[in-house]
Structure 1
């Protein structure tokens, strides 16, 4: 989910630098000047943003601690912290000032002497919000840990792979699932093209978008009868560009044998990872959008 930055307009230069550095680390930042449009309700928009954000970074300065508006934003976030029983508010100390009472016991990112030192502390605290390649989602009967990696298959073809472990609460076994999307030579060239422009992450997201939307693997269920891996392979083809992506889905059971068969639903895994990542995937900046459009216009490899 986005990271909301609460600040005083007096500290605008610092906040701009902070926000741009967070964006460069692929953190989804909610900043009022970036999000508000003419005619928007200021109170409604900000209240909604605070509710939907994972964290509120409050920039502490002489100006902000005396601001009624900043105090209201902070109080809203502190109420969420009490209700959800987790850390929501991350103090960012810009200069010596009177720290609000309810923040005095919190460790803060200290920017007073060094921007880089303070930013590193803040980045560490926001690691979850910035990481879209690892995660966990929960259901009534299981917890699922998942990870995404990528590279060259056989040193030649670009791939994106998801690995997940389903840990069941009432059963003495786990399920190990893997989904690999392997590009053909044309689609691998596409990856190299975007990678060379510093936009490799954008190419990976377009590959994952195929997985989210590919009807052929939706509602796919596999019967697990023993401890051996079960696999299904299909191919996504783009007739215009001649790009192909081979999608391999495999599942196996680990742990104790209950003597019962298990019907595995890949939709559960695909939807779970997609939803878990959704608000942690940074959207392209305006500059990146222009760069992407320019790359597509050049279109040397059927991008």
Structure 2
């Protein structure tokens, strides 16, 4: 579990002391002093974004620091995006009334916080234990929600691969069905097959495309930012070049099938033109599908290794 600790520079010694957490916790503590007017630099943003939990050490000094407030603001926005608990306030100074604090710290008045104001060694041990227990319980809750059956990364990758291949297989079936000339496609058996594979493709993509758009956070959680960026590139290709691109263009051929009886069968020139468009649409899909197969295989291999 990766944890970011936000704190005032003056509280650095206590931040480092509290950072001595159980082995399952990987703590990020910034060792630089930031200027009061400085905006969040990319290093800080990446460190917060790549963390599972954001801990903020609340002291009267921290409450007066503009950059600590900026980090908390960013972390609370990240928490809302994640739709799960992400920010853990830790009070390191006694007598602070969170309800009377200015935003964004006032938001902590109605949530779980840990009192770590006893800075004696015994108090620090107690505070570290409380933080460790909280992080362990949070991690357990997330695993129960994300993997109620204890699914492994291997099963996760297998399910993703199954979906990606399922998308390809159904689109290949539509492509193959439309490879026949229009005069053949309108025959009963060929038309029934086309309707079947088209309906199967549509049913599958109705679930697959929205699911694909939500996969980046689980990928980041399991395999890290590089894998998340790889999925983003693959998803962009699927959505733009395949689903909304070459695959969507096949609708023109399907419209020609629907127009065959009332229009095209009576107009040889129009039929020849429509058949040429159908062949072009099907031909244009082939290199896109070849690239999709290659990209999918390469990406899945990176997750398996």
Output the TM-score relative to the length of structure 1. Answer: 0.41
For the pair shown, the structure with the greater C-alpha radius of gyration is 2
Higher relative contact order (CA 8 A, sep 6+): 1
Output the TM-score relative to the length of structure 2. Answer: 0.41
Q: Select the structure that is richer in strand.
A: 1
